[in-house]
Structure 1
Amino acid sequence: MVPDDGSAPDDGERRPPTGRQRQPSAGHQRRLSTGQTVELPLECEFTLTGGVFPASARRLSAGLPDRLSPVRIAPRTGAVTLASIEYHYVGGLDPYDEFAVIVPVVADSRTDLPGAQLVGGLVAGSVGGYVSYLPVTTEASVALGREIWGYPKEVADIEIHDRGERRRTIVSIDGERVVSLDMRKAETSERGATMRSFTRMDGRLLGSRVALGGEFALTPLRQRASFSLGDHERADELGKLGLRERPLATLYGHRMRARLHPSRELK
């Protein structure tokens, strides 16, 4: 993270949050092409800011695997989550930063009717997020995401500025800005949830379970987050999603914890 006052980064920002002892996992180990060994399920701790923005359902559908449909909030409208993630701890790797572009989806949905589609997906356990773009700040984190889960990671410059009540994230590649995200913090409470994450690897549709916990706030219909696109070609791709400026909800979490389970092919 880059302090807004221009001072040197505080090493404490990169230390794992205190007050909780990590228990040895009963999982298995994977060695990455970059040489690091990680244990699965993967344990992470992080700070999160983000917003959920309306987007064109037709354009979102064009970029999804056949079995996934964007969650409809209106007949022609889906959503995209833009999230800035500052990892303080990632088992087996040095901490890194990440910017996620995630499309809320339903797998194998029988209807696109708003409301009915989401309810049916929740009952079937088929609601999740399809990760369409995931820039990160280290090569090791690229290997981690691509080799184990199929996440579409690539190395980028990610600056996270903390301005008291606000956090600003700037993503750039080769000196060209891709996207900026501004977020006003919210009051949090301890929460936990389990979600599904969908990816595509070698032509196969994969799903994985992600268990989340920590101090978190989801604030609906409030102008707490905004984004702007830059001039890089990746920004052009995001612009083609038909993103709208006013968020449906904003996300803020600190002392967050996640356990990422290995992915499995959807049958």
Structure 2
Amino acid sequence: MPVRVRDAEVCSAFYPVRADAARAVIAYSGLDVAEVLPGKAVCVLVFVDYRDGDLDAYHEFGMAFLVRPPGQPGSTGLGDLRQAGIFVHWLPVDQRFTLEAGRTLWGFPKELADIELRLASPYKRCILRKDGRLVLDLLVKPGVPVPVGGAMAPLDAYTHRDGRTRRVPWSVRARDAKIRPGGALIRLGNHPIAKELSELGLPKRALFSTTVAHAAMTFGAATTA
């Protein structure tokens, strides 16, 4: 520790969903969602091309929610958002080594899946299949440049595995980041995760979408949350 990613391309879409529905999805974790608006939580869908890192090269998809840190009193709006962490609910990958490492080191809910990334064109696309069934087809349209130019604020990621919720310190350094209001198109398949997303209200317009052409990340040791 820490485990380092030296270069990755990251595309994400942030969706407003009903807070009560999101709470039901992550109830097993013991965490509560952050409410960015009264009754509204945020579901994050992300796909990543890990090009160079300690866990080798692989593709990954993530379904996550912005959450309040354990013990943090509830509020609504920017105060909740500034202190939010991210709870990783589902994290399919396409390589077995990172699957085993992610589960063992941090408790990430990694599963093997077929993740097809199309990143060479102006639009970024992820086609995700699990057990021969389409989960989703997600297209992200890059927007305007964001002047991040370096390290972003550290963020706590949360995981739950084997009855234990963990906190994972996570930091990101980004280059060539872009953001766009909306900016995502999604088609759901017939997999159970697609049904879960449908019950959250997707497909719908994203709050915003982001792309990072070059990201470097650091993952610290997991601790019990």
Match of 2:86 among 104, 129, 153: 129
Kept in 2: contact 1:100–1:134 (CA 8 A): yes
Q: What is the one-letter code of the residue matched to 2:3? A: L
1:87 aligns with 2:50: yes
CA distance in 2, matches of 1:201, 1:174: 21
Pair 218,164 (structure 1): closer, same or farther in 2 beyond 3 Å: closer
Kept in 2: contact 1:110–1:117 (CA 8 A): no
**Aligned residue-pair number:** 219
Pair 206,216 (structure 1): closer, same or farther in 2 beyond 3 Å: farther
CA distance in 2, matches of 1:117, 1:169: 30
Kept in 2: contact 1:188–1:215 (CA 8 A): no
What RMSD, in angstroms, separates the aligned Cα atoms of the two structures? Answer: 1.9
**Could you list the per-position Cα deviations for residues 132-163 of structure 1 after superposition, in whole angstroms to 9, with x for gaps in the alignment?**
01110011111011111111110000011135
Match of 2:212 among 222, 235, 253: 253
Kept in 2: contact 1:204–1:265 (CA 8 A): yes
SS of the equivalent of 2:200 reads coil
Structure 2: 5+ residue stretches without partners: none
Q: What is the one-letter code of the residue matched to 2:209? A: T
Q: What is the one-letter code of the residue matched to 2:156? A: R
Kept in 1: contact 2:108–2:159 (CA 8 A): yes
Identity of aligned residues (%): 25
- TM-score w.r.t. the length of structure 2 is 0.89
Kept in 2: contact 1:56–1:243 (CA 8 A): no
- TM-score w.r.t. the length of structure 1 is 0.76
Pair 261,66 (structure 1): closer, same or farther in 2 beyond 3 Å: closer
Aligned to 1:217: 177
Pair 66,165 (structure 1): closer, same or farther in 2 beyond 3 Å: closer
Pair 52,198 (structure 1): closer, same or farther in 2 beyond 3 Å: same
Aligned to 1:51: 13
Aligned to 2:23: 61
1:153 aligns with 2:110: yes
Kept in 2: contact 1:208–1:264 (CA 8 A): yes
Kept in 1: contact 2:36–2:77 (CA 8 A): yes
Kept in 1: contact 2:186–2:203 (CA 8 A): no
Q: What is the one-letter code of the residue matched to 1:51? A: A
**Could you list the per-position Cα deviations for residues 41-65 of structure 1 after superposition, in whole angstroms to 9, with x for gaps in the alignment?**
1111200111101111001111325
- 1:82 deviates by 0.5
Instruction: Please list, as runs of the form range in 1=range in 2, the aligned pairs for 1:160-239 lying within 5 A after superposition.
Output: 160-186=117-143, 187-189=145-147, 190-193=149-152, 194-217=154-177, 219=179, 222-239=181-198
SS of the equivalent of 2:119 reads strand
Kept in 1: contact 2:68–2:74 (CA 8 A): no
Kept in 1: contact 2:29–2:160 (CA 8 A): no
Kept in 2: contact 1:188–1:216 (CA 8 A): yes
Pair 118,174 (structure 1): closer, same or farther in 2 beyond 3 Å: closer
Kept in 2: contact 1:192–1:214 (CA 8 A): yes
CA distance in 1, matches of 2:98, 2:17: 28
